[in-house]
Chain A
Amino acid sequence: MYYVDLAVTGVTFGCMYAMMAVGLALVYGLLRILHIAHAAVFALGAFVTVVVANATGSLALGFLAAIVVAPLFGMAIYRLLYEPLLSYRPDVPMIASVGLLVLMQDAFRIVFGEQGVTFHNNVYAFMTFNLFGVTVNAVQIAIVVAAAVVFTGLHLFTTRTRIGVAWRATVSRPKIAASFGVDPIKVRYLNFALGSALAAIAGGLVGLLNNFVDPSIGYVVSYKALAIIVLGGLGSVRGTLIASLVLGLVESYGTIFIGQWLDRDAIAFLALIALLMIRPQGFTGTRTA
């Protein structure tokens, strides 16, 4: 049962990472920018969810507000921060991105307080189900379901809809896509909107799971999601999903062997270094930076 428990934990970690990291992978795929401020979008999503849910008493409204606000913020980051810097070397927008993350962390601290915010009414964090002898939390189930829906939806969107195909075309061959009449600027906005909405959902769910949103909630995203997209083969959605799940499981099972000496972040990064030494091109290997 122990190993099943660890697998459930690992898959939950993995789904969480995947929803955070996919926006990052999309931005990198399109613009070759390491969008580190994505962590701030994630945190903003979490804060909007908890604040609106507490104010209105409705968790659904909280999530809805986050899904509206975060994409606007994400698109604003593109328009105001990245677009003016696109003509420079890729490390210039990246440094701007780091700056924005630091700024936002302190902004959250000033606006929402040092101690963070708790959901007034959060029954889900304490609701558990017994599935074949494994105890699973309601929010854990929600995270896995949300990730499954999101990735299936993303797959259908990019393969079955006109706009999705156009998007994919822009990511892989921007010039040819443009010559077919696809507006690359619209695709960029779509990219930021979609990635930010997913990060906001992930942020809201993580806040719900912890019953707590603090200014540093985005911290994990800021570096772990970067590791994931590197491992996933920079810019690949499928690779990001695989890398997220692998990392989640490695962290989870890693505690059996070295949990006494190292925390799970250290385990994750040891695994990352080892994997990159074996496969520097990442899991999917179709794309290299």
Chain B
Amino acid sequence: MRPMNLLLGVAALALGFAAAQPARAEIKIGFQAPLTGFAATDGKSSKIAAEMAIDDINNAGGVLGQKLKLIVYDDQAKSDQAIFTANKLIGEDGVKFVVNGSYSASGRAAAPVFQKAHVVMISAYGVHPDITRAGDYIFRLVHLGPPQGRATALFIAKDLKLKTVSAITMDNDYGQATMEGFIEAAPKYGIKVLNKYSYSLKDRQFGSIVASVKRDNPDGIYATGYFFTAAPLVSQLRAAGIKAPIIGSQAFDSQKFIQIAGPAAEGVYIVDSMDRDRKDAALRKFFAEFTKRAGYPPESVAAECYSAVKLMADAIKRAGAADPAKVKDALAATKNFPMLEGTLIGFNKLHEIIKPISVNVIKDGKFKFFAKLDNLDAFAPPEK
């Protein structure tokens, strides 16, 4: 026991010193991402993008004359790890600003912890509605499911001018919520939903849904899914000779989708997908630098994490001090902030983003910009 006590004593002393050191030279930004476990692909992209943002800010002179320092923890996209690392960030690292570059399960668990400690948190791409409901220190940088679904109904009616749709959704929170938004808005735009089908995230064989869609004979097909379900689904729809346009949800936005679905991916529309064609110097630079660091082109999650760190730095600058209470007000007052994914108009009362939605179409194996939906009222986020 003795050597153990001694060790503990030394450790406590070291901690005391660390805490007593004045940390004026740098502002710490906490960062949670799933670096291991099932979501590690997204976690890796998130971390690289966040580090790039920090480097870019520091190379441009930092914020308020101080350098930014990223403090990264692995949350495995799990609630328990998110809470554990949130407490570490608050207690050990004394962090006042956090970007949660992780899934809903993490953001949802961490948000109340940060709210209670009055730490400002931006969820870069967590889509669960509860995240922002944790309180006024919490912000979100992506559209919620139901607004995405409503925007899709608008797009299908106004841009594609389709009248009848077969709807296919994965049976998780995000898929169901997005589909609910779509089904609710569809009649407003004169779209008739012929049938709705649901599939499990583990499924890769969609034969019976495909046969039913064939019988529906719709003008268009709306589907929610991740690349690993979306690609087989789209392939199987096309293999059955169904030619109707396919409109996919945001989570289709992955290079892997195009790779797996091959020729079947051609002509698929993706709503709320990153506009990669914008003639924007920052976007070009981000693409080149990310590809160099990661060895593969960036996905949406990478762009979202990069933007989240940049936005946090911008808010600290506008607040004029690294004071969480002032920074949260500055964030809430954000107007027309240039993100990689387009201009962020601002946040609503619940700190949900107000931002136009881009639609991509896949052409010659690449994402191509197709339309911009800027009828913001049609997909206004919830206020509470």
Contacts and interface: CB of A to CB of B under 8 A. Distances in A.
A137 B239 CA distance: 6
Contacts, number: 120
The contact size tier of chain B is 35 or more
Interface of B: 38, 40-41, 171, 195-200, 202-205, 207-212, 214-215, 228, 231-232, 235-236, 238-241, 256, 259-264
Contact of B198 (A2, A128, A211, A259): A259
A114 B171 contact: no
A158 interface: no
Contacts of B240: 5, 128, 135, 137
A263 B200 contact: yes
Contacts of A211: 231-232, 235, 260-262
A219 to B, nearest CB: 5
A212 B241 contact: no
Contacts of A12: 205, 207
Contacts of A263: 171, 198-200, 203
A13 B215 contact: no
Contact of B238 (A16, A126, A209): A126
Given A2-B214, A211-B235, A264-B208, A118 B263 contact: no
A166 B117 CA distance: 72
B221 to A, nearest CB: 15
A68 interface: no
Contacts of A256: 212
Interface in A1-56: 1-2, 5-6, 8-10, 12-13, 16
A6 B232 CA distance: 18
Identify whether the interface residues of B are mostly helix, strand, loop, or mixed. helix
A255 B232 contact: no
Contacts of A209: 205, 232
Given A214-B228, A263-B203, A265-B203, A9 B198 contact: no
A259 B208 CA distance: 9
A262 interface: yes
Nearest to A263: B200
B200 A9 contact: no
Interface residues of A, number: 47
A125 B214 CA distance: 19
A261 interface: yes
Given A118-B259, A128-B239, 10 more contacts: A5-B210, A6-B212, A135-B241, A137-B236, A206-B204, A209-B232, A212-B232, A220-B203, A255-B208, A263-B199
A254 interface: yes
B211 A126 contact: no
Nearest to B227: A115
A54 B219 CA distance: 37
Interface string A234-265: 00000000000000000111111001111111
Nearest to B241: A135
Given A137-B239, A211-B260, A263-B171, A114 B207 contact: no
B208 A125 contact: no
Contact of B228 (A116, A125, A253): A116
A217 to B, nearest CB: 8
A9 B210 contact: yes
B202 A216 contact: yes
B40 to A, nearest CB: 5
Contacts of A135: 239-241
Contacts of B236: 137
A113 B199 CA distance: 25
B22 to A, nearest CB: 41
Nearest to B236: A137
A172 interface: no
A58 interface: no
A100 to B, nearest CB: 19
A260 B232 contact: no
Given A220-B202, A260-B196, A125 B235 contact: yes
Contact of A114 (B40, B200, B203, B235): B40
A254 B211 CA distance: 12
Nearest to A127: B239
Nearest to A130: B241
Interface string A125-148: 110101000010100000000000
A116 B210 CA distance: 24
